[in-house]
Structure 1
Amino acid sequence: MFFLEAKRIIVVILGSLLVAISLNFFLINANVYAGGFAGAAQLVSSVFKDFLDIEISTGILLLLFNIPVIILGWYKVGKGFTIYSIVSVIFATIFLELLPVISLSDDIILNAVVGGVIAGVGVGMSLKLGASTGGMDIVAMVLSRLQDKPIGTYFLLLNGVIIVMAGIVYKPENALYTMLALYVTTAVIDTIHTRHEKVTAMIITRKADELQHAIHQKMVRGITILPAKGAYSKEDQNMMYLVITRYELYDLEKVINETDPRAFTNIVQTVGVFGFFRREGEVIDKEN
């Protein structure tokens, strides 16, 4: 347990370092913006410096933007999930302050692509181990627990504002290069982990009751259990069918490995959900 938590902390710190490298070495001097709170902090820092002659670093602004969100996550999401966000934001701020802001290339397209790849690797590594990177991840987690609305809309809205402001404040080309960087970042994250709002897990197991109990100890999600039979072994098993958010994917994998390591699990993208999608605080009316 200690080794696992230490590994997650190390990965979160490494992810923060990669995000800082992406910003300070590639994106900031090129006026190409990252996504989420990092991009918002980067844009505000640029505006303050170029138009108001006020020096406020991206790292400090990133920390300030995350403070209210982290407080929200602490009470609405949980201490464990939020602690990783705190570690991520603090170390991202430290690395952004320690690393120099330099230009490794004058090619703006190269800066956008390489910066997007490095940022995507940093975020994707953290998400893959079930850790949060703060900012919009916490907002999305809160929204996923409170209401079943498209989380991607909020990501798109914030990133859309960043893209439009980049085009207005600087040049239209900056908006296009920012779109390129965001696309590359998202593609890399999707390769390493997933950016899908919800995924469907189909689990073939001989320990359906134990697994169902273990899953419900960890997350609030409805599960459908269907009888299944192995085509080769002819053994009677069960298929557990459930829809979860991407933030719960690591926890689900961990529960399955601990409860039934021989279970077969297929994870597929869920485009949409209609009808009842169980959320925290809701109960099922057993009479209906």
Structure 2
Amino acid sequence: MKKMEFTRKQAWELLWDGVAFLAGSFLFAVAVNVFTAPNNIAPGGLTGLATMINYLFGAPIGTTILVFNVPLFIWGVLQINFRFILKTLAATVISSVTIDLTAGLFPPYQGDLMLAALFSGVLSGAGLGLIFMRGGTTGGTDLVANLIGRNFRHLSLGKLVLLVDLVVVLISAFVYRNYESPLYAIINIFVSSKLIDAVLYGADTGTGKMMFIISPKNKEIAQRIMTEISRGVTELRSRGAYRGEEGEVLLCAVRRSEVYKTQDIIRSVDPDAFVIVGDAGQISGEGFKQSHKSESK
């Protein structure tokens, strides 16, 4: 019975993953095909590079994104494992195919460029937020930053992503021979990031999250979090007030974008685990913002 119940839970999880990936990919595809690509706005990352290649050579944007991601997936499998990037692979394939399938489905917007940048940011942010909510990403700079961050832990992943996006945006000025294009792209990236946060965390503006985990499989959960997300885990001694039973509570500090990845790991190990997610106004130390003391060295 328990096995059947667990299988049913897995089926529902896969169903909701698929629904979120499809809905998010559709919104993202509309943002690209209707607002950014027709108005020569390259919204950073591999999507921005694919948009510029489409402008120069006419190559399909979705297919180009998928081709660019192939070596990243191979790198991810070799450095981490296939299971860790499985959702990223699924989300990337679905979003890339959706972009190409919906190309020409809606008439391109050719009005005010500011509106194009704003609405593309809203749609792409909402779409990516749905995908992130189910523990997936669309590969690209997020995957690159994650892989690089495993070897260079002193680097900020957020800054790595921002740096890559900035380089792509600057390149777009030369490709389109228009210095307004990168400015609108920056607006797009800013609005998109805000919408992603709104979808995932509402009005939350904290720099990170604290997760408390209680499960009879704490050892396995802790090991997978440390291996697959590269976050430290602390074991805290606990005693239940009702029965007085001794136990352990796992404490883990993660970035906001890593909350759903961590929850996905917890659910896969123990669907009945008790999890508390709290706000952390500031987190300093390895993998997070450096303390003033370390910055002064």
**Fold agreement, TM-score > 0.5:** yes
Give yes or no for the alignment of 1:136 onto 2:145.
no
Aligned equivalent of 2:60, options 57, 60, 67: 57
Query: How far 1:80 sits from its partner (Å)?
Result: 2.5
Q: Deviations over 1:84-108 (max 9, x none)?
A: 2332232333222222343234111
Q: Deviations over 1:204-232 (max 9, x none)?
A: 85x6xx363242243214323446799x9
1:266 aligns to what?
278
Matched residue of 2:42: which SS? coil
Aligned equivalent of 2:81, options 78, 81, 87: 78
2:172 aligns to what?
166
Residue pair 1:150, 1:197 contacting (<8 A) in 2 also: no
Aligned equivalent of 2:163, options 157, 161, 165: 157
Query: How far 1:245 sits from its partner (Å)?
Result: 4.6
Aligned equivalent of 1:114, options 119, 122, 138: 119
Cα separation, partners in 2 of 1:68 and 1:274, compared to 1, 3 Å: closer
TM-score, length-normalised on structure 2? 0.76
Residue pair 2:36, 2:42 contacting (<8 A) in 1 also: yes
TM-score, length-normalised on structure 1? 0.78
The CA distance in 1 between the partners of 2:262 and 2:86, in whole Å, is 19
Give yes or no for the alignment of 1:15 onto 2:24.
yes
Q: Deviations over 1:152-192 (max 9, x none)?
A: 22211221112212333432211111110010001111112
Listed as ranges, the gaps of 5+ residues in structure 1 are 49-53, 277-288
RMSD: 3.3
2:218 aligns to what?
212
Cα separation, partners in 2 of 1:271 and 1:175, compared to 1, 3 Å: farther
Cα separation, partners in 2 of 1:167 and 1:67, compared to 1, 3 Å: same
Query: How far 1:201 sits from its partner (Å)?
Result: 1.4
The CA distance in 2 between the partners of 1:162 and 1:196, in whole Å, is 27
Residue pair 2:45, 2:141 contacting (<8 A) in 1 also: yes
The CA distance in 2 between the partners of 1:22 and 1:84, in whole Å, is 22
Give yes or no for the alignment of 1:180 onto 2:184.
no
Query: How far 1:37 sits from its partner (Å)?
Result: 1.0
Give yes or no for the alignment of 1:250 onto 2:272.
no
Matched residue of 1:258: which SS? coil
The CA distance in 1 between the partners of 2:89 and 2:273, in whole Å, is 32
Residue pair 2:95, 2:138 contacting (<8 A) in 1 also: no
The CA distance in 1 between the partners of 2:237 and 2:18, in whole Å, is 40
Residue pair 2:31, 2:121 contacting (<8 A) in 1 also: yes
The amino acid of 2:158's aligned partner reads G
Give yes or no for the alignment of 1:224 onto 2:237.
no
Residue pair 1:200, 1:267 contacting (<8 A) in 2 also: yes
Query: How far 1:22 sits from its partner (Å)?
Result: 0.6
The count of residues paired between Structure 1 and Structure 2 equals: 264
The CA distance in 2 between the partners of 1:35 and 1:275, in whole Å, is 24
Matched residue of 2:252: which SS? strand
